[in-house]
Chains A and B, each alone.
Chain A
Amino acid sequence: MKIDMTVNGRNVSGEVEGRTLLVEFLREGLGLTGTHVGCDTSQCGACVVHVDGAAVKACSIFAAECDGAQVATIEGQGNADGSLGAIQQAFQDYHGLQCGFCTPGMVMSAAALLKDNPKPSEAEVRDYLQGNLCRCTGYHNIVKAILAASGQEVAPVARVEA
């Protein structure tokens, strides 16, 4: 069947089967490979995108259910001039990623959180990230990055003296 949707502000359309997942449509249909598949069992959150403003796991929704929807992915998080968006920049500044596999989902979850709650507490950030697993960082710097992106004071990452 043919579906139409808006992805990062751009109108797109494509042919899908009933069983085509949104994440497959984004990655294979549109070539937007920033959205990752970590588990494919709805556990890890690497695939989080926004559908009509709400964070959802793109591995657990069919593309056809997003017919007519506004979809936002990690590719839309950068600034128009190609520089990193505020959340992305904070992840870089606060060392919020190592291998980077979980990062697209982390950034999209963080964006959803900050939209509803512009100045979250540390506990609120941790609570919101329940469905986003990271196997590298130990989460502390991810939480710091999100707090920093919200404009709150956080301790800088430790610097090693040369």
Chain B
Amino acid sequence: MYDFELMRPATLDEAIAALGDEDAQPLSGGQTLIPTLKNRLAMPSRLVSLSGIAELRGVTVEGDVMRIGGGTTHGAVAREAADRFPGLAGLAARIGDPAVRNRGTIGGSVANNDPSACYPAAAMATGATIVVQGAEGARDIAADDYFQGMFATALEEGEIVTGLRFPIPLASNYQKFEQPASRFPLVGVFVARYGDRVGVGVTGAAEDGVFRWAEAEEALAEEFSPRAVEALRLPAEGLIGDLHGTPEYRAHVARVMTARAVSAAG
């Protein structure tokens, strides 16, 4: 690891000010960033730790919307979202392992936008809003506009993901087909049902990262049953092919995971 200065601000304002420095980078749970630093794939001059900022943590519900602070750990989401939004709590409860969940955060996950990360599938399926804040102030970004391809997001230099707002679905479920060595999803599908629409977010499968499977959303809005998905074929173009599976295999797994998520969501 290259050396850097580690700062531990107690407030969001101090963190944003500290990130004004060139080559400064936020540190949240460190479950992705610390391994990256060890491999010398990043060389920040300053790391601004967000873990001491209480205002970034917590799960709150207002009406039909769940707001989750960017610094909330996966473990806390698994516990605190369980009553009102079990689909999301179930997703959080299966990220990595207990020690990873005690450190890793939702803000870090969506800031990183790993093409196999779990949360982006839920954010896309639910039509969540990603709330970010920087020196210029705060802005709300719709999930559709926020995720911009593998490891690419609408986040600007110096901005912090302060939280996400999820419209709480009537029913939802996440199915993760694990790549057993990394425990990341080889393919993960989040299905969310609302009164007037169904959202289907697919992660792990595509070269451009998370996406919504529009055809499945339409078919499921007509008829919310696994049968509605069985006739569909997800095109293999643009899907990932590697030693774990071909694009055609991933397309097949995505369809099967979608059908399972529909059954489990009920």
Chain A residues at the B interface, C-beta cutoff of 8 Å:
1, 17-19, 21, 40-42, 45, 48, 54-57, 59-62, 64-65, 67, 109, 112-113, 128, 130-132
Q: A42-B34, A54-B102 are in contact. List 9 more A-B contacts (CB 8 A).
A: A19-B2, A19-B4, A57-B103, A62-B6, A62-B49, A64-B49, A130-B183, A131-B96, A131-B99
Residue from B6, B47, B98 within 8 A of A131 (CB atoms):
B98
In the bound complex, CA of A42 to CA of B31 (Å): 8
From DSSP, what is the main secondary structure of chain B's interface residues? mixed
| Bitwise interface map of B from 41 to 58 toward A, beta carbon under 8 Å scored 1, else 0 | 000000101010000000
| Total number of B residues with any Cβ neighbor in A under 8 Å | 26
Q: Are B3 and A19 in contact (CB under 8 A)?
A: yes
25 of the cross-chain contacts (CB-CB < 8 Å) are A18-B5, A18-B6, A19-B37, A41-B35, A54-B75, A55-B98, A55-B99, A56-B99, A56-B102, A57-B99, A57-B103, A60-B103, A61-B30, A61-B103, A62-B6, A64-B6, A64-B8, A65-B6, A65-B8, A65-B30, A65-B51, A109-B98, A128-B98, A131-B97, A131-B99
Whether A130 and B97, one on each chain, are in contact in the complex, defined by CB atoms closer than 8 angstroms, is yes
Q: For chain B residues 14-63, which have a beta carbon within 8 Å of chain A? A: 27, 30-31, 34-35, 37-38, 47, 49, 51
Whether B38 pairs with A55 at a CB distance below 8 angstroms is no
Q: Is the CB of A45 within 8 A of B5?
A: no
When the two chains form their complex, are residues B4 and A65 in contact, meaning their CB atoms are under 8 A apart?
no
Q: What separation, in Å, do the CA atoms of A65 and B31 have in the docked complex? A: 13
Q: How far is the CA of A130 from the CA of B180 in the complex (A)?
A: 10
Q: Give the residues in chain B near A60, CB-CB below 8 Å.
A: 30-31, 34-35, 103
B171 at the interface (CB under 8 A from A): no
Report chain B residues within 8 Å CB of A54: 75, 102
B8, A67: Cβ atoms under 8 Å?
A: yes
